[in-house]
Each structure stands twice: as C-alpha cells, then as structure tokens.
Amino acid sequence: MKKKGYVLYALLLTHIISQAQVAPGDIAFVGYNADNNDQFTIITTNYLEDGTQIYFVDAGWTGTAIYASEGGILWTVPSGGVPTNTMVTYTGGGAGGFTTFPSGNLEAGVTVSSGTIAASGIAASMALTTNGDQILAFTGSVASPTFIAAANFNGAWSWTGTNNSEQSLLPPGLTAGTNCVLLSDRDNGKIDCLLLPDPASVSDYNNAAYWVYNDATRYTLPPTLGTCEFLLPLELISFYGTAHTNGNTLTWSTAHEMLLSGFEVQRSVDGSDFIPLTFVPAVGTSNNVITYQFIDDVTTASQYYYRLKMIDNDDSFTYSEIITISQTQNDAAYLFPNPVGQMVTIVIPENTLIETIQLFTSNGSLIREIQYNTTNNYLQLDVSDLASGMYILRINSTKQYQSLSFMK
C-alpha cells in the first residue's frame, strides 16, 4: 500500500506516453545485400522505446538536404520497445527494392523482423544499386533530419552532382568509423563475427576492417554470431526513484557490465539543465545482475528529474532515460522484485481504472493478457513458466499507459 509522500515514479524502460530521443550510435548497420532482394540489418546499441520512428533512405545527403530523387522507408518500434543488442532485418519486396517509382509506395512483400514499416513520404524508389550505394538512418523528418547512423558501400563520402543516386556527403552529426561505416564498392556485406573484437563497441561495428563483402553472393542476414557475441559495455535493466521525508532514493540495476568505470548521478529541477551530484563506481566487468543505490537528501522542491551518465573506462559515455520523483503525484505503477524468480508483484496506484495488463517478450511478441479484477491495489503474477530473459509488462489505464520491464 502506498502512503502519501512516498512514490515510486518511474523505471528505465518505463515511460508514460513519452519518447526518448535517439542519439547517433544508438543503432549500427551490421549487414546489407544489394543483390535482389534488397536487405539490410541493424543492431540496437541502446534501448529503443516503443513508438520510436526511424527513417532509412538510400538517398544521399547533398550538404543541405536529402536528395529528393531517391526514396526510403519509415520504421516504427513495436510495443514493448526493442532492447539493446537486438538485430532487426529489413527485406525488400517482389520487385527487389523497398519502395516503388515514382509513387514512393511500399513494394509488395516488404518485411521487417520487428515492428512495422511504412513509406517515408518521399515520392521515389528505394532500391539499393549494385554500383555502390548508401543507407542513411535518421529521426525527425525528411525536411529536418537528425542523423543517427549510416552505411556507405560506395567507397567515398562525396557529392559531385552527377550520378546522384549513388552518392552522399557525410551526414552532419556522424563521424566515419565512430557511428557510421564507410565500405568499399561491393554489392553485399556484413560484419564478420570472427574478426570482431569480443566484446564489441559501437565503433567496432563501424570499422570496415571487421566487415567482409563481395559482388557475387548474398549474405544470410542477420549475421550469424557464431562463437562470439555482440556485446556492449553496459546493459541497464532498471532505474527508478522513491521519495521519502529525508530525500529521494535512486536505485538502478545492470545485467551486463564490460569495462565500465561508473555512474555520474545528475539532477534537474526543470528536466533540461542537469547538475552532477555524485559518482558511483561500477563493478566494472560482470555478467551478473548488480544493483546500485544513491540517496539525494533534498526536500525543498516538490519534483525533481534525474538521469545517469554512464561512463566507460575509455571516457566514452551514454545517458539513461530521465526519471521523475515527486512528493505530490502518485500515479505510476511499479513491480518487484527485479530480477524475478517465481512470482512478480505489480503495485497499481489507488483510484486507477485498469483496462488491460499485457505481457510481452523483449521483441514485442504478446505472451498473455492478464485480468485485473481485484479490489487490492496490487496483482501477483506467476511467471515460473517463463524462460530466462527480459520481459515487458504494459499497463493500460484510462489515463495513460505504462511499460515496466523485468528480468527473469
């Protein structure tokens, strides 16, 4: 039972009708086939929230705009989101490409392994050429793109104004070898797991030295991992906060750490300007679930915003989602324990009218729909039959929806 002045307000991978901004390097290309049917694969290097939309185009960047005579697709992340280290493969349709000329509509038979795809709105075809091409990924809009990844298999970032369908300048915000990859002019290519360092960083995916490619044979996508894995320095599985009379307690858990230095805890009063509070050293390298905690002894404001700056040993860093802790609001559900053994308890805010509670796998597949017809403000769920892994609980109420992640 919750009490006034005590609220667990948010979880990482838990959001209330909000969408996190996708940053450069949050996805990386790991394979493509320009020999029909067109195909490419990305790997997520950060969690992507459900509803996030990413454009993929084979149009080049002219220096001022997306080239208008080449098309693209718009991918929407599925319900439950897409976890870190997930590969998503996009495959062209019956005519080989993704969109038709001159309408820009989807080809019949276009598929994606997770989520949904639609036409980008560009009235042109998206079809990878065997004379060299590129795929650019961005959020925002075609008119105002924010680039997050790219794969160039034309041999150079250049724009001469001729043969434009096979050319592109390096998009703004991207750095070759860091968050985009420049490859030789070959029809088909992929990351080679046997060449890739273990663990791999985002820059490794974008290093041409770890790719193989040819002009004669399509590769099987997604790439077969074989004896090594695509790993990242950190997998953050939960981040939440509780408000007490003596301050705010922040708790977070990791399921995988590799060469991680630690966490800089940051606070804001407006959700925009953050200040550092403390540095919490990480275990560093571990495949076990590790839980950290920090108490911020503030009581003056009714609401605070927090995030984690997660710093690797090489001083590279990423940010967590922003969570909110409030003394006055009491409208967020939460679950415990996490990780889960046989049973998980879901605590529902009082006076909340629940419509449905749904359980999804980490790739968005619905496992079951749960009836909530108790007079208590909690529900105990037997998950003893679930295999080990990450799962998403989606709570749909008349006011909002909320997604809670847990590890089994």
CATH of the domain at 399: 2.60.40.1220
Quick one: which H or E segment has residue 243? strand 234-244
The whole-number average pLDDT for the span 236-241 is: 76
Reading the block at residue 380, the tokens are 């105990």
Mean predicted lDDT score pLDDT of the chain = 82
Write out pLDDT tens, residues 163-215: 577 899 999 999 999 999 999 999 999 998 778 876 677 898 999 999 999 99
Give the pLDDT confidence score for residue 339 in this predicted structure.
79
Nearest CA to 6 out of 350, 343, 306, 268 is that of: 350
Are the C-beta atoms of 333 and 346 separated by less than 8 Å?
A: yes
Q: How many domains does the chain have?
A: 3
Range of the domain at 179: 27-214
Same structural domain, 339 and 325: no
**DSSP notation for 280-349:** EE---SBSS-EEEEEEE---SSSEEEEEEEEEETTS-EEE---EEEESS-----EEE-SS-SSEEEEE--
Does a structural domain hold residue 20? Answer: no
Does a structural domain hold residue 6? Answer: no
Give the pLDDT confidence score for residue 233 in this predicted structure.
56
Same structural domain, 237 and 367: no
Same structural domain, 193 and 110: yes
Does a structural domain hold residue 153? Answer: yes
pLDDT band at 275 (very low <50, low <70, confident <90, very high): very high
Write out pLDDT tens, residues 128-174: 998 889 999 999 999 999 999 999 999 999 988 765 778 999 999 99
Answering whether pTM is above 0.75, one says: no
Residues 6+ apart with CB under 8 A from 177: 203, 206, 207, 208
Give the pLDDT confidence score for residue 58 in this predicted structure.
94
Q: In whole angstroms, what is the distance from residue 236 CA to residue 252 CA?
A: 8
Q: In whole angstroms, what is the distance from residue 247 CA to residue 327 CA?
A: 10
Domain boundary among 181, 214, 247: 214
Does a structural domain hold residue 11? Answer: no
Burial readout 217-255 (b: 16 or more C-beta within 10 A, e: otherwise): ebbebbbeeeeeebbbbbbbbbbbbbbeeebbbbbbbbb
Are the C-beta atoms of 237 and 13 separated by less than 8 Å?
A: yes
Domain boundary among 329, 344, 359: 329
Are the C-beta atoms of 377 and 350 separated by less than 8 Å?
A: yes
Give the CATH number, domain containing residue 290.
2.60.40.10
